[in-house]
Amino acid sequence: MRFKLPVSFIVAAGLVVPALPVSAPLLFAHHGTAEYDNTKTISLQGTVTALQYLNPHALILFTVKDDKGQTTEWTAELQSPNLLSRRGWSRSTLKPGDQIIVTGRPVKNGAKAMSGQKVAFTDGRETPNMGLPPDSSK
């Protein structure tokens, strides 16, 4: 299940780094993806406040600082911990203070929230892929 999404950029001073297309589908088995604007992909760089490793969807709470030094609180919704754990995630994959870049889709209602489809560290390390078990389409 690979597909490319149309990419657009949200311009908000200092908040957004260039977004690459997200190749992983959104797999929100609980409530679907209607909350999110599937025509937009954003990437935000920020500092982890917490990883809430809760079913049915894990959340990354993180803060983003703009070029004026203003801090904004963001939330990125991930898949369920059960699915993440089977791809190699754990509750300590992200720790408070970690510098990360989250790529995903913004919510439609304009809140400071997004889906998290890819999470990387600013030092170049990556987190395990998200998604279904690799052979689940056979």
Partner 1 sequence: MRSRTILLSFIGMLLVPFVVRAQASQPRKGAGQTANQVSNETSNRAPADFTGVWYPSTGSTLGAATPDNPGQQFVWLDAEGKPLKGPLPLTAWGQQRLKANRPTGTNTSAIDSDDPDFQCFPSGVPRVYLFLYPMEMIHTPGRVLMLFEYGHNIRQIFTDGRGHAQDAEPTWMGDSIGHWEGDTLVIDTTGFNDKTWLGYGGQPHSEALHVIERIRRLDQESLMIDITLEDPKAYTTPLHTQKKYVLKPDWNLMEFVCEDNSLNFLDYEKKTRIQK
Does residue 23 contact residue 3 with C-beta atoms inside 8 Å?
Answer: yes
> If DSSP codes are grouped into helix, strand and coil, which group holds residue 84?
helix
Q: How far is the CB of 66 from partner 1 (least distance, A)?
A: 19
Binding-site member from 38, 71, 90, 122 for partner 1 (CB under 8 A): 38
- Per the structure block, which two tokens stand in for 56? 């049915």
Task: Reply yes or no: is the peptide bond before residue 96 cis, omega within 30 of 0.
Answer: no
Does 101 sit near partner 1 (CB under 8 A)?
no
Q: What angle do CA 80, 1, 120 make, to 5 degrees?
A: 55
Q: Does 71 bind partner 1 (CB under 8 A)?
A: no
User: Pairing mode, if any, of strands 59-65 and 71-77?
Assistant: antiparallel
* One of 107, 121, 128, 129 touching partner 1 (CB under 8 A): 107
Report d(CA 102, CA 84) in Å as an integer.
16
Nearer to partner 1, 17 or 107 (CB): 107
Give the shortest CB-125-to-partner 1 separation in angstroms: 25
Using rule CB under 8 A, residue 98 touches partner 1: no
Task: Give me the residues that bind partner 1 (CB under 8 A), please.
Answer: 1, 3, 25-27, 29-35, 38, 49-50, 52, 54-57, 59, 61, 75, 77, 80, 82-83, 85-86, 107-109, 111-113, 132-133, 135-138
